[in-house]
Amino acid sequence: MKTKFLIIISISLSILCCNDKKQDIIVLNDRFDNIRDTIIKKVENGEIPSLSLAVSENGKIIWMESFGYADKENKIKATPNTLYSIASVSKPLTATGIMKLYEMGKIDLNTDVQTYIDTLNLKYYVNDSIKVTCRNLLNHTCGLPMHFNYYYDDDTLAIPPIEQVINRYSIVVNQPSLKYSYANLGYGILGFIISKVIKRDFNEFMTEEIFKPLEMTQTTVDISLQTKRDLAKRYDLKGKLLPFSFSDTPGAGNFSSTAKDMIHFGMFHLNNTFKNDDKLLKSSTIQLMQQKQYPDTFNSDEVYNKYYNRNMCGLGWFINDKDYNYKMIYHAGGMDGVEGMLKLIPDKNIAVVALINQSTTNAELTNQITDSILIIMVPDLKDIQVINQKNETNEIQKTKMIKQEDLLGIWEGNIETYNKKIPITLKFQPDGDIHVYTEAQFNTGKLSNEHILNENNQHKMLLNKWFFNNGHFMGTYPLSIPGEHLYRCPHSKTLLDLEYKLGKIKGTAVALASSNRMYYGISHYLELEKKEQ
């Protein structure tokens, strides 16, 4: 009995010693010591400037701690209250705002979004009898293509209003609900819908209706000078200071938050209650957000991109029930100088968040750290038993495969920007090369007389094809689509993402920044028909 009493005293002292109320540091036991040591080494070795994390279990925060510097130059240490940009981890926040309007009866998830965006228009390049809905925007099945467009503090141009972005770039290139395509612009539209429907500023609504009830006292989508003063500085992989950057789609990636705030958000989405959140969202709505919106059916057209497909999308969340023994609800975020990860395991009532003021490939480090934490808490998390897997090869064989030699010849069409049509020709050669002929702009930002092929000022280039599967192919050529984006970053190339369908080649031509910054990926519709021989 005396031994047990001493153990209890020892544990209590350990908790008191590790709970720094000034910084809200909480370390309840030593089971995460190896992970702590790993993080500390990465900070001391200069691999990362700082990392803030928090872990909750059964509605209680069991670990919350920060490491390293939010501002290396001024030796300002990171704490759980340090404000970080969270990039695409913003999306579940915006989705929660939309679901609040859904519960208020202000929006219908299955109604044409045109109902809510007034005079702004989505431009359909597919059958427009099937309209984009809020549900489509929430689960990335809206048919909108790639779009990211970041503006840096040292840019000469300001972020354009969201209305302009929607009108210029909202092109529906795939039939809604048919396939997954990650759509930042879709979440930009959702943020705009919130402000339009509620007739209030987007940040004001989110603060009053979502963040305050959840005691998320610092979370904001404001990007004013005051917010930037509070933000953790951003660094590149070499530790060099980066200017702040924000996107032209605020609802997709412009939120800033803290480890403490984000663990509160995660706990709420595990149905753990806060004293002021009784009217925020019903449990049934939270569950709906964490449900797959489409059945687990195999589609041979998705062979090239099986992992990120529509079968893993909830409403604002990604769902992984294939790689773990327990359903994982999560969202990652990353852009220049920013990396974040939020993961939930509803069956175990566990949430974990990690934020870094530096970017790594595909949010790799925050993914590794959060997984390591979860494996300690749930030892059989990844003890996967593979049973009765579908024979995907047989499924594929039921569909006629389109090979590159089936497309031999000359294909002509236009890249359609918001204000002009740019002629383009693709020539599929017997030797496997694909030649591109189009009006383009050199990386210097100036047109040159060199390499002009004909009187139409078309340049001949080789498509750097790095993917071809059943008629779908992707590749780049080294010149840019002409446009005002070149004023910001003249070092651009063009990405073609195309697919052969019903006698035509359709898809997008993406003006893609080619520099040490993630400036932009701006998509335009492209359709080509085969020229008669």
pLDDT 10s digits, 52-88 = 999 999 999 999 999 999 999 999 999 999 999 999 9
Give 435 or 279, the one with higher predicted confidence: 435
In the numeric block, the tokens 């045109």 are attached to 114
Which residues on adjacent β-strands are paired with residue 228? Answer: none
**What secondary structure, in 3-state letters, does 369-415 show?**
HHHHHHHHHCCCCCCCCCCCCCCHHHHHHCCCCCCHHHHCEEEEEEE
Banded pLDDT at 266 (limits 50, 70, 90): very high
Question: Measured in Å, how far apart are the chain's first and last C-alpha atoms?
Answer: 94
Tokens at 270, concatenated: 């595990």
Stretch 244-253: mean pLDDT, rounded? Answer: 97
Q: Please determine, for residue 321, whether its predicted confidence score (pLDDT) is greater than 70.
A: yes
Q: Please determine, for residue 16, whether its predicted confidence score (pLDDT) is greater than 60.
A: no
DSSP, residue by residue, 88-133: GGHHHHHHHHHHHHHHTTS--TTSBTHHHHTT--PEESS-TTS--B
List Cβ neighbours of 19 (8 Å cut-off, separation of 6 or more): 25, 26, 27
The whole-angstrom separation of Cα 438 and Cα 426 is 9
Tokens at 16, concatenated: 């008191």
Tokens at 73, concatenated: 């130059």
3-state secondary structure of 193: helix
Q: Please determine, for residue 310, whether its predicted confidence score (pLDDT) is greater than 70.
A: no
Of 193, 226, 195, 224, which Cα lies nearest the Cα of 208? 195
Q: Please determine, for residue 527, whether its predicted confidence score (pLDDT) is greater than 60.
A: yes
Of 293, 270, 316, 280, which Cα lies nearest the Cα of 93? 316
Tokens at 54, concatenated: 């928090």
Rounded to 10 deg, the angle between the 259-268 and 90-103 helix axes is 40
CA 221 remoteness from chain centre: 16
Q: Please determine, for residue 18, whether its predicted confidence score (pLDDT) is greater than 60.
A: no
Q: Please determine, for residue 9, whether its predicted confidence score (pLDDT) is greater than 70.
A: no
Q: What is the pLDDT of residue 15?
A: 39
3-state secondary structure of 520: strand
Give the CATH H-level superfamily of domain 85-293+305-377. DD-peptidase/beta-lactamase superfamily (3.40.710.10)
Of 23, 29, 36, which Cα lies nearest the Cα of 354? 36
Stretch 197-217: mean pLDDT, rounded? Answer: 97
Average pLDDT, whole number, for the chain? 88
Stretch 265-274: mean pLDDT, rounded? Answer: 94
Determine the length of the chain: 533
Banded pLDDT at 385 (limits 50, 70, 90): low
List Cβ neighbours of 279 (8 Å cut-off, separation of 6 or more): 213
Stretch 144-154: mean pLDDT, rounded? Answer: 96
Q: What is the pLDDT of residue 297?
A: 55
- Percentage of the chain exceeding pLDDT 70: 86
* The amino acid at 110: N
Q: Please determine, for residue 441, whether its predicted confidence score (pLDDT) is greater than 70.
A: no
55: left (phi over 0), alpha (psi -120 to 50) or beta: beta
Ranked by mean pLDDT, the top range of 277-286, 356-365, 397-406 is 277-286
Banded pLDDT at 273 (limits 50, 70, 90): confident
The whole-angstrom separation of Cα 162 and Cα 120 is 10
Render the burial of 167-176: b for 16+ CB within 10 Å, e for the rest.
bbbbbbbbbb
Stretch 36-48: mean pLDDT, rounded? Answer: 96
Banded pLDDT at 362 (limits 50, 70, 90): low
Of 370, 373, 377, 384, which Cα lies nearest the Cα of 322? 384
Q: What is the pLDDT of residue 279?
A: 78
Q: What is the pLDDT of residue 361?
A: 66
- Percentage of the chain exceeding pLDDT 90: 73
pLDDT (tens digit per residue) in 462-510: 999 888 999 999 999 998 898 888 888 888 899 999 999 989 999 999 9
Q: Please determine, for residue 182, whether its predicted confidence score (pLDDT) is greater than 60.
A: yes
Q: Please determine, for residue 235, whether its predicted confidence score (pLDDT) is greater than 90.
A: yes
Q: What is the pLDDT of residue 175?
A: 94
List Cβ neighbours of 188 (8 Å cut-off, separation of 6 or more): 162, 165, 166, 247, 248, 249, 250, 251, 252
Q: Please determine, for residue 395, whether its predicted confidence score (pLDDT) is greater than 70.
A: no
Stretch 279-299: mean pLDDT, rounded? Answer: 85
Stretch 94-100: mean pLDDT, rounded? Answer: 98
Q: What is the pLDDT of residue 6?
A: 34
Q: What is the pLDDT of residue 70?
A: 98
Stretch 280-298: mean pLDDT, rounded? Answer: 87
Tokens at 353, concatenated: 């968040």
Give 445 or 296, the one with higher predicted confidence: 296
Q: Please determine, for residue 29, whether its predicted confidence score (pLDDT) is greater than 90.
A: no
Q: What is the CA radius of gyration of the chain?
A: 25
Stretch 344-362: mean pLDDT, rounded? Answer: 92
Of 102, 70, 412, which Cα lies nearest the Cα of 259? 70
| Global confidence as pTM | 0.91
Q: What is the pLDDT of residue 444?
A: 45
The whole-angstrom separation of Cα 520 and Cα 503 is 31
Banded pLDDT at 439 (limits 50, 70, 90): confident
3-state secondary structure of 342: strand
Q: Where are the alpha helices (DSSP H) in 208-270?
A: 225-230, 250-253, 259-268
List Cβ neighbours of 51 (8 Å cut-off, separation of 6 or more): 39, 42, 43, 66, 67, 68, 78, 354, 355, 356, 369
Q: Please determine, for residue 197, whether its predicted confidence score (pLDDT) is greater than 90.
A: yes
Domain 404-530: top CATH class: mainly beta
Q: Please determine, for residue 384, whether its predicted confidence score (pLDDT) is greater than 90.
A: no
Q: Are 91 and 318 in contact (CB under 8 A)?
A: no
What are the domain boundaries of the chain?
A: 85-293+305-377, 404-530
**What secondary structure, in 3-state letters, does 426-491 show?**
EEECCCCCEEEEECCECCCCCCCCCCECCCCCCEEEECEEEEEECCEEEEEECCECCCHHHHCCCC
The whole-angstrom separation of Cα 352 and Cα 63 is 9
Banded pLDDT at 324 (limits 50, 70, 90): very high
Q: What is the pLDDT of residue 442?
A: 53
Give the lowest-confidence range in 160-174, 293-307, 518-532: 293-307
